[in-house]
Amino acid sequence: MILIAGGLYAADPFEGTWKLNESKSKLTPGTDKDTKVVYNSRLIRDKVTVTTDGVEGDGTPIHSEWKGKFDGKDYAITGDPDANMRSYKKMNDRTLFVTAKKGAEVIAQGLIVVSADGKSQDVTLTSPDAVMSVYNEKAKAKATEKGKEKGFRNKAVYEKE
C-alpha cells in the first residue's frame, strides 16, 4: 500500500531510481535489458509510475512507461516492444509479483525483491516457455525457433541511486 502523506513516500522501498549492476546479473543473451528503472508514486494520486530505460537484445534503445496500482490488475504499458499490459501485485513490503502480457498471452512473470537494507533489488523474470520446457518436451519443441530457445530465465540485480 502506498501512503498519500508526503513524508511517508520514502517509506516505500521501491520508490526511487534503480540502476542495473550487470556484473551481478545473469541475463539470457539476446533478451531485453532494463538498465535503469524508476518507481514514482508522487506523479499521479493513488497510482505508481514505473519507467524503464534499456536496450533490446539487438542493442536498440527502449523507453517504457507503466501507470497503475500494485493490485495485481493489468494496466497498459507503452514503449515495451514485447508487452502491452503489465501487472504488479504487492506480496509484502519488499516483494512484488510482476506479470507482462501481449494481449491475453503471458510473456513473462517473476519477483522483484528489495533487500532488507533497501540498497539493492533482485528482479527474477521467467518466460512461460522456459518454465514449461522443463516439464514438457512438446512445450520445449514449441519454444524452439530456428534452433534457438524462445524461453528465458533472467536474474537482474539493481542498486538504488
**Residue 1 falls inside a structural domain:** no
Domain for residue 143, yes or no? yes
Do 79 and 65 contact (CB within 8 A), yes or no? yes
Written as one letter, the residue type at 14 is F
120 domain residue, yes or no = yes
**Which domain CATH number covers 141?**
2.40.128.120
Beta-carbon contacts of residue 155 (< 8 Å; ≥ 6 apart): 25, 26, 27, 122, 123, 124
List, for residues 9-54, the tens digit of each pLDDT value: 447 899 999 999 999 999 988 888 999 999 998 877 789 999 999 9
In a domain, residue 94? The reply is: yes
Is residue 57 within 8 Å of residue 70, measured between CB atoms?
no
97 near 109, Cβ under 8 Å?
A: yes
Question: What is the distance between the alpha carbons of residues 28 and 24, in angstroms, rounded to a whole number?
Answer: 13
Give the range of the structural domain holding residue 93, as residue numbers without chain letter: 6-160
Model's pTM, two decimal places? 0.80
pLDDT at 151: 76
Q: Is the pLDDT of residue 157 over 50?
A: yes
> How does pLDDT run across 76-118, given as a tens digit for each residue?
999 999 899 999 999 999 999 999 999 999 999 999 999 999 9
What is the four-CA torsion angle of 42, 75, 72, 160, rounded to 10 degrees?
A: -40
Q: Determine, yes or no, domain membership for 39.
A: yes
Q: How many domains are contained in the chain?
A: 1
